[in-house]
Amino acid sequence: MTLLETMTTRRSIRKYAARDVEPELLNKLLEAAARTQTMGNLQLYSVVVTRDASEKQRLAPAHFNQPMVTAAPVVLTICADFNRTTVWCNERKATPGYDNMLSFINAASDALLFTQTFSCLAEQEGLGVCYLGTTVYMPRLIIETLGLPRLVMPIATLTVGWPDEQPEQTDRLPVEAFVHEGRYRNYRAEDINTLYKEKEERPENRQFVALNGKETLAQVFTDCRYTKSDNEALSKGFIDVLCEQGFLTAEQANQANYGNRKLVTERPEVLECDVVRFQNKKEKWVAFVGLLDGEPYEIFTGLQDEEEGILLPKSVQKGKIIKASNPDGTHRYDFQFENKRGYKMTVEGLSGKFNKEYWNYAKLISGVIRYHMPLESVIHLVTSLSLDDESINTWKNGVARALKKYTKSNNETEETAVDDEDA
């Protein structure tokens, strides 16, 4: 069979015969695949070959236990590798500069090109292969299992074996769907209707839609298979691992995760602040949410209490939290607001006015917010705290309630949060 014939008749294989892939054949394919084009002829990849049953078992959870991992005779994990080149440079009086994002992209491209050539060659030899996209979902687990050092990142996994199935070929879009002559031609609604007609009308895809209780095939992807929230969470995890593997600095990772929101670890002297009041089981609470560029930076909460707590005019919704120094060198936080007549009023020493335990918890929560943990996760963290005391549990609900106001998904207005009764 010619390569063209192999490609036009190929399909992914997920069931393998109980027959080994001979090491000589595998090596021949790996060696031939290395003829693939590679940046600077540096071969910025490494391949980890897993044949041992117990090692495959250890890899399986990283791939959500997809059965091919343990069933295939060979599992290949192909990694972007700037480690080897870096060691080579260091050994040869050359100073490497490959601990950055661009180098990662170059190495990842090299790794994928190598993988695809290997896949074509293997299929040409009659082997069956399947890519595992899960490689980039839980990279940390793969890194630990395979002992990947700094500047090595898993990019692709192929399960390889002799086919024990001949599934139907999957559909493809017509060539006009992805080839643009001269200039990119954007897609109008009618183009989409034409180009996706066959795909959407295929019985297996209609069944897919029905099985998932969806209206359209596209919804199966957006709502079930590859959701925004999963993609965001996995992206964040991937960026964190890129950082751990030395391809990104902490600052760059922060920028990748949070755009231009800067990490401000030194608390500014003055912060704008929202006052959020709420009621939990008849107790009146107040939260001061310190804001940096409109985003929560810290939170103080406590009972509104004439005796020991804090009591503010009801009209006060905003103010400033000012970090002030005491004569003995310690710090305190003051709340300043403008009263109806435009005079500045200052409530000194918020910390002294609130229960010490709440104060300490709030300090921890503020630390977490400051380092940009997503607010939804902070709320989850706070509400999952297991606390014995009844009033501290009330406190925890209050904090969650106050922070909810700032989450992306929240449409709640300040009015509804105020004086809201907790069930």
Does 132 participate in binding ligand FMN (rule CB under 6 A)? Answer: yes
What mask, x for binding ligand FMN by CB under 6 A, covers residues 379 to 408?
------------------------------
User: Strands (DSSP E) along 211-317, which ranges?
Assistant: 270-280, 283-292, 295-303
Footprint of ligand FMN on 290-349 (CB under 6 A): none
Does 77 participate in binding ligand FMN (rule CB under 6 A)? Answer: no
**Which CB contacts under 8 angstroms, 24+ apart, belong to 323-330?**
323/267, 323/268, 323/269, 323/270, 324/348
Does 170 participate in binding ligand FMN (rule CB under 6 A)? Answer: yes
The SS3 call for residue 147 is coil
For ligand FMN, which is the closer residue by CB, 234 or 368?
A: 234
The piece of 40-48, 126-134, 237-245, 348-356 that touches ligand FMN (CB under 6 A) is: 126-134
Q: What is the rounded CA–CA span in Å between residue 62 and residue 139?
A: 8
Does 12 participate in binding ligand FMN (rule CB under 6 A)? Answer: yes
Binding test (CB under 6 A) with ligand FMN, winner from 72, 76, 108, 130:
130
Contact between 180 and 187 under an 8 Å Cβ cutoff? The reply is: no
Does 66 participate in binding ligand FMN (rule CB under 6 A)? Answer: yes
Q: DSSP 3-state helix, strand, coil percentages of the chain (rounded to 5)?
A: 45, 20, 35
Single-letter code of the amino acid located at 88? W
Does 11 participate in binding ligand FMN (rule CB under 6 A)? Answer: yes
The angle subtended at Cα 101 by Cα 98 and Cα 102, nearest 5°, is: 75
Does 14 participate in binding ligand FMN (rule CB under 6 A)? Answer: yes
Q: How many Cβ atoms are within 10 Å of 360's Cβ, its own excluded?
A: 12
Q: How far is the CB of 53 from ligand FMN (least distance, A)?
A: 20
C-alpha distances in Å from residue 113, one per residue of 29, 86, 106: 14, 21, 11
The piece of 131-139, 300-308, 333-341, 367-375 that touches ligand FMN (CB under 6 A) is: 131-139
Q: What is the rounded CA–CA span in Å between residue 107 and residue 98?
A: 10
For ligand FMN, which is the closer residue by CB, 11 or 84?
A: 11
Binding test (CB under 6 A) with ligand FMN, winner from 49, 61, 99, 131:
131
Q: How far is the CB of 80 from ligand FMN (least distance, A)?
A: 14
DSSP 175: G
Instruction: Look up residue 138 and give its two tokens.
Output: 């839980």
For ligand FMN, which is the closer residue by CB, 42 or 217?
A: 217
> How many angstroms from the chain centroid is the CA of residue 193?
33
The piece of 95-103, 129-137, 260-268, 400-408 that touches ligand FMN (CB under 6 A) is: 129-137
Does 134 participate in binding ligand FMN (rule CB under 6 A)? Answer: yes
For ligand FMN, which is the closer residue by CB, 158 or 378?
A: 158
Q: How far is the CB of 125 from ligand FMN (least distance, A)?
A: 17
The piece of 39-47, 130-138, 189-197, 401-409 that touches ligand FMN (CB under 6 A) is: 130-138
Q: What is the rounded CA–CA span in Å between residue 105 and residue 247?
A: 10
Dihedral over Cα of 325, 326, 330, 335: its sign: negative
Q: Nearest-CB residue to ligand FMN?
A: 133
For ligand FMN, which is the closer residue by CB, 174 or 349?
A: 174
For ligand FMN, which is the closer residue by CB, 165 or 419?
A: 165
Q: How far is the CB of 321 from ligand FMN (least distance, A)?
A: 48
Does 162 participate in binding ligand FMN (rule CB under 6 A)? Answer: no
Burial code (b: 16+ CB inside 10 Å, e: under 16) for 11-28 equals eebbbbeeeebeeeebee
Q: How far is the CB of 155 from ligand FMN (least distance, A)?
A: 9
Q: Which residues contact 242 (CB under 8 A, 6 or more apart)?
A: 101, 104, 153, 248, 253
Binding test (CB under 6 A) with ligand FMN, winner from 126, 133, 149, 213:
133
Q: Which residues contact 231 (CB under 8 A, 6 or more apart)?
A: none
Residues near ligand FMN (CB under 6 A): 11-12, 14, 66, 130-134, 170
